[in-house]
């Protein structure tokens, strides 16, 4: 299970050490108050649905090589991954594999003259109270001699951003204080340049702003709940799109919005024939929703606006209760949506149809992410469990037990056993302040019979690349404990401080965010515990005498990689990261 003394976390592959911490909301840091664990703030919980959040975007150094083919997809950055920029696949690579006729039509290319936010952040605005931006921010990005990662953190009523936080938690280079508490935000990975960043920020009352922190301008959307008055829960840019994004709300609806369109009026008034609607089997879609309102007049501007210039692009009624999270798959088409109604849904975003709805063991789902290869989906829930799914096939794979309260943050670790077809590592945090590591191999799991259907590893491998689900049923009920493998954590350690709300992971570090705004920077072990098959060495770190897989992984690799002989490295090259 691992061990912890508050600053060191012992995992099978080595020791994770908290090397820095800071709380920008309370103006406390390791430099002022000593080592982590000696001066942590008093634990407290967030206000309802106002837990702090993190997002990030990476810039390659000016002289760096182009992104590799077949690397990590940029949409995974919104799911807690901070990879080196050269590890991401080239822009638009995933869009060459399929033609699109739905909302994705036209995605994958940038406009020669893109629109920008129009209102200065320092103008008289009841939503933005104060703005502090580093005067050399644009210079840092435009003249970078090394890779730069910009990390955004929302806590209390403040949005902050940091440069290369993995090298140490310095003062934020930007800070915007709002009159409302931001509940979600996202950065457009597709449009980021040295002179522009497209950031979406959502608020509990339904307001949204599209802002450029470099140009210090913004555009406000759904002002005072003009389109939809339900509280906002999550916001996500559509991958490889310059202007489309999704907003998820507390009434169980999702709007597909265009940043360049004006607000329509009264989405709550759209008739959608819900009398016999079964939310487990279908989703309600209203394409060109403004046309159903009977007019295009914008009362705030006192002018007539063509309906095709009004938001939303589309309106989805997905659940009867609040949406909690959204995650796009690496193929960009499938989107996972979690809800408090005890279901998470797999949706074809382009065709706007429900593929599957999966039931939880107990309670609602709180978060979701995808494995980097797109094979698996991982959810966290109010049942204190993490659950692994085979979304294409329409089955549950395993549950993971280790938390004692709601799971709040999850992500996969693609650097742990790189390029292995079956070995995975994922990391989770929860309201119980536990940091948990989980390792599993698909071929090493026991495979019970699922709902009367036999399941085999070979059949799974044949169906991995298929987009069409194998399970013909849309609704997938919860499996009993006897029907599902239960995973135990490799390490489960209590982190000092307040409840944990989010995490991010990179080749060198883990970044944890507490509900009171505290950030913990945890360095990963530097011993040879991470595997690559292509012989490349990440981040320039090398070590002589790499003689074989770690002992705690040798059994899993023997199962998942045929022909490997114990104690040899004939088939694998080991890389230190």
414: three-class secondary structure by DSSP: coil
Element housing 26 (H / E) = none
- Reading the chain (577 residues) residue by residue, the pLDDT tens digits are 555 667 889 988 889 999 999 999 888 888 776 665 444 444 455 554 678 999 998 887 776 666 555 678 889 999 999 988 778 775 545 554 556 667 887 787 788 888 899 898 877 788 999 998 888 887 777 777 788 899 999 998 999 999 999 889 999 999 999 999 999 999 999 998 878 899 999 998 899 999 998 888 999 999 989 999 999 999 999 998 999 999 999 999 999 999 999 998 766 555 555 668 899 999 999 876 555 544 444 444 445 667 778 999 999 999 999 999 999 999 898 999 999 999 999 999 999 999 999 999 999 999 999 999 899 999 999 999 999 999 989 999 999 999 999 999 999 999 887 666 778 999 999 999 999 999 988 777 765 544 444 444 444 443 443 333 467 889 999 999 889 999 999 999 999 999 999 999 999 999 999 999 999 999 999 754 444 333 333 333 323 332 333 333 333 322 222 222 333 322 222 222 2
pLDDT of residue 445: 74
d(CA 46, CA 517): 10
CA distance 515 to 406: 13
- The SS3 assignment for 235 reads strand
Question: By three-state DSSP, how is residue 43 classified?
Answer: coil
Strand ranges across the sheet with 158-163? 53-59, 148-155, 158-163, 174-178, 128-133
Q: Can you give the pLDDT at residue 258?
A: 95
Distance, in Å, from the CA atom of 373 to the CA atom of 473, rounded to the nearest integer, reads 24
What is the torsion angle, in degrees rounded to the nearest 10, for the CA atoms of residue 519, residue 436, residue 358 and residue 454? 160
pLDDT for res 5: 64
In sequence order, what DSSP letters do the residues of 410-438 get, joined into one string? EEE-TTSBTT-SSEEEEEEEETT-EEEEE
pLDDT for residue 162: 94
DSSP state of 225: G
Domains and CATH numbers, the chain: 327-494 (2.130.10.10), 526-577 (no CATH)
Distances (CA, A) of 544 to 247, 563, 576: 50, 24, 10
pLDDT of residue 449: 46
| Cα–Cα dist 479/399, whole Å | 10
Residue with tokens 């990391």: 427
Burial class (CB in 10 A: 0-12, 13-18, 19+), 458: exposed
Task: Name which of 431, 321, 438, 326 is nearest 384 in CA terms.
Answer: 431
User: Which residues have CB under 8 Å from 19's CB, separation 6+?
Assistant: 168, 521, 522, 523
Question: What is the pLDDT at residue 513?
Answer: 96
Is 2 within 8 Å of 492 (Cβ atoms)?
A: yes
Q: Which pLDDT score is estimated for 133?
A: 86
Is the peptide bond preceding residue 312 cis, with omega within 30 degrees of 0? yes
**Rounded-to-integer distance, Cα 202 and Cα 222, Å:** 10
421: which 2 tokens? 């077809």
Phi–psi pair at 277, nearest 5 degrees: -80, 130
CA distances from 570 to 13, 23, 534 (A): 21, 47, 12
- CB of 188 within 8 A of CB of 206? no
Measured in Å, how far apart are the chain's first and last C-alpha atoms?
A: 23
The answer to whether 528 and 576 have CB atoms below 8 angstroms apart is yes
Tell me the three-class secondary structure of 46-88, residue by residue: CCCCCCCEEEEEEECCCCCCCCECCCECHHHHHHCECCCHHHE
Beta-carbon contacts of 522 under 8 Å, excluding residues fewer than 6 positions away, are 9, 16, 17, 18, 19, 509, 510, 511, 512
* Best CA proximity match to 367, nearest among 394, 336, 397, 393: 336
- Phi, psi (5° rounding) for residue 131? -135, 130
Element (DSSP H or E) covering residue 540 = none
Q: In the prediction, which pLDDT does 269 show? A: 55
């Amino acid at each position: 299970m691992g061990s912890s003394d508050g600053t060191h976390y012992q995992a099978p592959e080595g020791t994770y050490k908290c090397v820095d911490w800071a709380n920008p909301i309370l103006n406390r840091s390791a430099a002022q108050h000593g080592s982590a664990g000696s001066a942590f703030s008093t634990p407290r919980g967030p206000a309802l649905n106002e837990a702090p959040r993190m997002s990030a975007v990476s810039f390659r150094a000016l002289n760096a090589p182009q992104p590799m083919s077949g690397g990590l997809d940029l949409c995974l950055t919104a799911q807690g991954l901070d990879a080196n920029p050269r590890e991401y696949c080239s822009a638009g690579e995933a869009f060459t594999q399929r033609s699109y006729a739905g909302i994705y039509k036209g995605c994958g290319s940038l406009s020669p003259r893109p629109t920008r936010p129009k209102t200065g952040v320092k103008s008289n605005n009841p939503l933005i109270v104060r703005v502090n931006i580093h005067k050399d921010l644009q210079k840092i990005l435009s003249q970078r001699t090394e890779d730069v990662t910009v990390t955004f953190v929302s806590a209390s009523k403040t949005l902050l951003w940091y440069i290369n936080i993995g090298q140490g938690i310095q003062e934020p280079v930007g800070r915007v204080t709002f009159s409302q508490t931001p509940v979600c935000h996202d950065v457009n990975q597709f449009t980021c340049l040295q002179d522009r960043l497209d950031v979406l920020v959502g608020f509990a009352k339904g307001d949204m702003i599209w802002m450029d922190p470099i140009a210090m301008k913004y555009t406000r959307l759904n002002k005072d709940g003009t389109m939809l008055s339900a509280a906002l829960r999550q916001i996500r840019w559509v991958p490889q799109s310059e202007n489309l994004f999704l907003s998820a709300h507390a009434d169980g609806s999702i709007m597909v919005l265009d940043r360049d369109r004006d607000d329509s009026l009264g989405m709550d008034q759209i008739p959608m024939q819900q009398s016999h609607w079964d939310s487990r089997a279908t989703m309600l879609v209203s394409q060109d929703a403004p046309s159903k309102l009977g007019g295009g007049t914008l009362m705030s501007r006192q002018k007539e606006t063509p309906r095709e210039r009004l938001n939303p692009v589309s309106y989805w009624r997905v659940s009867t209760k609040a949406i909690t999270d959204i995650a796009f798959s690496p193929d960009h088409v499938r989107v996972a949506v979690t809800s408090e109604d005890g279901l998470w849904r797999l949706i074809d975003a382009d065709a706007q149809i429900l593929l599957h709805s999966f039931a939880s063991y107990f309670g609602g789902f709180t978060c979701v992410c995808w494995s980097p290869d797109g094979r698996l989906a991982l959810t966290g829930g109010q049942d204190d469990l993490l659950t692994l799914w085979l979304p294409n096939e329409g089955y549950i794979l395993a549950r993971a037990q280790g938390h004692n309260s709601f799971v709040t943050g999850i992500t996969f670790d693609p650097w742990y056993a790189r390029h292995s077809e079956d070995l995975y590592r994922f990391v989770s945090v929860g309201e119980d302040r536990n940091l948990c590591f989980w390792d599993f191999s698909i071929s090493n799991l026991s495979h019970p019979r699922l709902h009367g259907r036999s399941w085999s590893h070979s059949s799974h491998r044949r169906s991995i690349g298929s987009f069409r689900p194998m399970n013909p049923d849309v609704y997938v009920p919860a499996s009993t404990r006897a029907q599902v493998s239960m995973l135990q954590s490799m390490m489960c350690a209590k982190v000092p401080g307040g409840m944990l709300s989010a995490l991010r992971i990179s080749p060198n570090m883990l970044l944890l965010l507490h509900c009171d705004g505290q950030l913990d920077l945890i360095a990963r072990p530097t011993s040879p515990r991470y595997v690559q098959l292509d012989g490349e060495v990440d981040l320039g770190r090398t070590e002589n005498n790499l003689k074989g897989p770690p002992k705690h992984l040798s059994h899993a690799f023997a199962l998942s990689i045929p022909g490997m002989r114990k104690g040899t490295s004939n088939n694998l090259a080991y890389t230190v990261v």
